[in-house]
């Protein structure tokens, strides 16, 4: 368990971190969770970064806008790591722009659940989706699900002030059940209040 500091708690939201090593199924786990709750009338916003494979090698990522289902290229594999970031992927301007639009607080504040995939090395350095996550943590959707690389977990918790948040390890056999249970604890009272 990681803990969340008071400035995050004051926003009135809850955060669930989904973690695991590279290529262990973090995005698939959250996509399966979203599919399992899709008939419950939840308003879902945010982004998923779906992996692309070519010749048994990660070729890149496409960004899925969870508000409207639109997909666009987010990143593509480089032949060599970037000398500045040391990353194996080039992040495409159109994909980053689409992600910024999908993570706009004006759009996300109407959601019941906001997902950000993936929170990794760029975010651990304060780059990538970091400014968007910081802005989102000030609004009131009841649930944020952040998909965090395991090797960046402590830095991300320190950066965003997470002190007491559920962590779901995507590598565990019952991960989907654990994610459902953690999300239900947050969403059930919210949905009941919305119906009244």
CB atoms within 10 A of CB 140: 11
Binned average pLDDT, 10 residues per bin, the chain of 196 residues: 40 82 93 92 95 90 97 93 82 96 95 96 94 93 94 95 92 96 87 64
Residue-wise pLDDT for 139-168, tens only, equals 988 899 999 999 999 999 999 999 889 999
Q: What is the CATH number of the domain that holds 161?
A: 3.40.50.300
Residue 156: the pLDDT is 96
Domain carrying residue 123: 2-195
3-state secondary structure of 113: strand
SS3 content of the chain, % helix, strand, coil (to 5): 40, 30, 30
Q: How far is CA 48 from CA 7, 70, 148, in A?
A: 26, 11, 12
Residue 83: the pLDDT is 82
E strand or H helix that includes residue 71: strand 71-77
**The model's pTM:** 0.89
Beta carbons of 112 and 143 less than 8 angstroms apart = yes
Return the structure tokens found at 60.
């890149």
Alpha helices in the chain (DSSP H): 6-9, 26-37, 93-102, 105-108, 121-124, 130-136, 153-160, 175-195
Count of domains observed in the chain? 1
3-state secondary structure of 15: strand
């Amino acid at each position: 368990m990681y803990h969340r500091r008071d400035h995050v708690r004051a926003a009135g939201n809850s955060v669930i971190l989904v973690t695991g090593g590279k290529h262990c199924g973090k995005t698939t786990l959250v996509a399966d969770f979203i599919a399992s709750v899709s008939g419950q009338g939840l308003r879902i916003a945010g982004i998923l970064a779906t992996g692309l494979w070519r010749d048994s090698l990660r070729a890149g990522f496409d960004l899925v806008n969870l508000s409207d289902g639109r997909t666009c290229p987010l990143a593509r594999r480089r032949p060599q790591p970037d000398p500045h970031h040391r990353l194996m992927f080039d992040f495409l301007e159109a994909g980053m722009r689409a992600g910024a639009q999908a993570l706009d607080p004006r759009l996300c504040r109407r959601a019941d659940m906001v997902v950000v995939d993936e929170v990794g090395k760029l975010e651990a350095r304060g780059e990538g989706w970091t400014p968007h996550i910081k802005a989102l943590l000030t609004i009131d959707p009841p649930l944020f699900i952040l998909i965090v690389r395991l090797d960046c977990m402590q830095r991300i918790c320190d950066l965003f002030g997470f002190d007491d948040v559920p962590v779901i390890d995507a590598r565990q056999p019952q991960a989907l059940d654990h994610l459902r249970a953690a999300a239900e604890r947050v969403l059930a009272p919210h949905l009941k209040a919305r119906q009244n």
